[in-house]
Amino acid sequence: MPLDPALLPARNLERSFQKSPRLAFALLATVQVTLILAITVTAIALPALGAELGLRSGQLALVSAGYGLAFGGLLLLGGRLADLLGPRRMLIIGLAGFGLASAAAGLSPDFWRLLGSRLAQGTGAALAAPAAMALLRDVYPDRDRHARAVALWGGLAPLGATAGIALSGVAATWGSWRWAFALPAAVAAVAAVAAMAAPRLLPPGAPPTPAKLDLPGALLATLGIATISYGLVTAGDQGWASRGTVISLLAGTVVLAGFVTVEYRSAAPLVPLRFLRSTRRVAGLAALAMAAAGHASIGFFLALYLQQVRGLSPLVTTAAFLPFLLTLPLAGSAATRLLTRFPPYAVATGGLVTAAAGLLLLGQLAVDTPYAGTLLAGLLVFPAGAALTFAAATVVAVQDAPAHQGGLAAGLVNTAVELGPTLGLALLVSLAGTRTAGLLDAGHPLPAATSGGYGFALDVAAAGFTVAAAGTFWWGRRRSPQPTTGICSPQPTTEGENP
């Protein structure tokens, strides 16, 4: 029977999907790395930025954290919109907003316009990130291939954050902090045009869900997460007992309690509470938050230590992070192979233990600590453990999520990656400041007290990772299925199908 000519375009489109999954994955991965890169793109350039615009330390903190406040606060809404309106459509909308805001940030003449641009950047990212991850299911519909793609995806967050630090250092050394925003703007523009002009590259995603948007839940989730995040970010400068910090944390907690109440009663909730009844999924999200917090803490403390205590230039500081950056993709590739042999909770446990060892090595900071010693060892060991944790925990968090809730799962994963650094770094910065003050009172010179405070905070983080590893192993062993092989069991693949 001859084929209906009207069906030929659809058949050709289907073939194009089968031929270009690697290219589609590369495009989506580049988007994800860029969205995470924007978090740390001001890290090393903050001193130059503050000097040019005349900003106080509190204003610098807001510029640095503004992106994350909007990103983390709106991710759940972005994930739900991807499910309701379609992931490819939301990807294009989010990238357009992110790109325009990135360009505006690079051209900002004062604090308020720069802060507004950073908030708009985070808003666009919150729409694009869940959509990009949700599209993985359509690019790799096979369960095992999708699991391998998700494992690779889990390693993109630390890679992007470290690349942002490198870009910040290069821009501050050879140009202006403003140039650090040019790359995100360019990538967003190219990716958005590719998604619109080449529909064969990306499938449209799961059909939009015919349901109403839970606007009260979206408003409460965004307001609660942003308020708590703001309180945690400003706690380092104002103090945990300050009026502003206490009010922010209490108000955010009350708002989130209201969010849970609304979700429980809503017929179409933003986050169905039954979605979080999976203990494995909660364990995966917690491990992601822990790994992200440790990664952000190392970037923060070591950047300050190398420049303030050791007196290194921004460019040399950036070069010092290269072993860290190079280890991440290698360990991420190893993680996908480990996941073919072991359950994901076991791989995540091993990653947390390895990362704890790296933090202990970095915790030996002193004024005269040689780079080619415990410092370099820590910069190699921690990213190896973090990459294993990110890959395995991401698989655990999204595994078995229904297709129509792919955006929700992606939103929760990205929210954990965003909120982990906010909570963890705020706590560790406070501990480092307290320890430094105690050492100064004991008569230690400022450089020694500063490095001692940083080392103490990293030691505490190592202890937290060890506890998390024990909990992940115990919880996963008791609550998770016990497969004899990993979830990504190898299967024969055809050329171009494997990520």
The better pLDDT of the pair 335, 105 is held by 105
Tell me: do 224 and 302 sit in the same domain.
no
As for how many domains the chain has, the answer is 2
Instruction: Kindly report which listed range (28-42, 304-318, 467-481) carries the lowest average pLDDT score.
Output: 467-481
Domain with 118, as residue range(s), is 17-213+270-479
The better pLDDT of the pair 191, 47 is held by 191
297 occurs within a structural domain = yes
Q: CA-CA distance, 109 to 346, in Å (whole number)? A: 50
488 occurs within a structural domain = no
The better pLDDT of the pair 279, 449 is held by 449
Where are the alpha helices (H) located in 305-375, listed in sequence order? 314-320, 322-338, 344-362
Tell me: do 366 and 292 sit in the same domain.
yes
Tell me: do 277 and 249 sit in the same domain.
no
Q: Of the candidates 269, 295, 316, which is a domain's last residue? A: 269
Mean pLDDT over 12-31 rounds to 70
First to last CA, the chain: 36
Q: pLDDT averaged over the chain?
A: 81
Where are the alpha helices (H) located in 3-155, listed in sequence order? 8-19, 21-40, 46-53, 57-85, 87-106, 111-134, 136-139, 143-154
Q: CA-CA distance, 233 to 426, in Å (whole number)? A: 6
- Name the nearest CA neighbour of 146 among 99, 101, 199, 206: 206
The better pLDDT of the pair 95, 429 is held by 95
322 occurs within a structural domain = yes
Tell me: do 255 and 165 sit in the same domain.
no
Residue 44 DSSP symbol: T
Dihedral sign for Cα atoms in the order 200, 122, 63, 438? negative
156 occurs within a structural domain = yes
- The residue written with tokens 């009172």 in the block is 441
The better pLDDT of the pair 6, 119 is held by 119
The better pLDDT of the pair 478, 290 is held by 290
9 occurs within a structural domain = no
Mean pLDDT over 431-435 rounds to 84
Residue 339 DSSP symbol: T
pLDDT in tens, 318-333: 888 889 888 888 888 8
Residue 207 DSSP symbol: P
pTM of structure:
0.74
485 occurs within a structural domain = no
pLDDT exceeds 70 at position 13: no
Kindly state the helix (H) or strand (E) to which residue 237 belongs, with its residue range. Answer: helix 215-238
Dihedral sign for Cα atoms in the order 140, 141, 147, 151? positive
Tell me: do 285 and 329 sit in the same domain.
yes
pLDDT at site 207: 59
Tell me: do 377 and 358 sit in the same domain.
yes
Output the CA–CA distances (angstroms, integers) from residue 13 to 17, 85, 152, 393, 496, in the order listed: 6, 21, 26, 34, 16
Tell me: do 434 and 464 sit in the same domain.
yes
3 occurs within a structural domain = no
Token pair for residue 373?
């010693």
Dihedral sign for Cα atoms in the order 461, 467, 470, 475? negative
pLDDT exceeds 90 at position 434: no
Q: CA-CA distance, 148 to 152, in Å (whole number)? A: 6
Mean pLDDT over 198-226 rounds to 72
Tell me: do 296 and 225 sit in the same domain.
no
Q: Of the candidates 242, 269, 296, which is a domain's last residue? A: 269
Is residue 315 within 8 A of residue 166, CB to CB? The reply is no
Tell me: do 328 and 259 sit in the same domain.
no
499 occurs within a structural domain = no
Tell me: do 235 and 98 sit in the same domain.
no
The better pLDDT of the pair 66, 58 is held by 66
SS3 494: coil
Q: Of the candidates 269, 289, 306, which is a domain's last residue? A: 269
Tell me: do 252 and 278 sit in the same domain.
no
pLDDT at site 499: 53
pLDDT at site 433: 82
pLDDT exceeds 60 at position 1: no
Tell me: do 86 and 126 sit in the same domain.
yes
pLDDT exceeds 50 at position 133: yes
Residue 485 DSSP symbol: S
> What CATH number is attached to the domain comprising 402?
1.20.1250.20
Token pair for residue 115?
């802060």
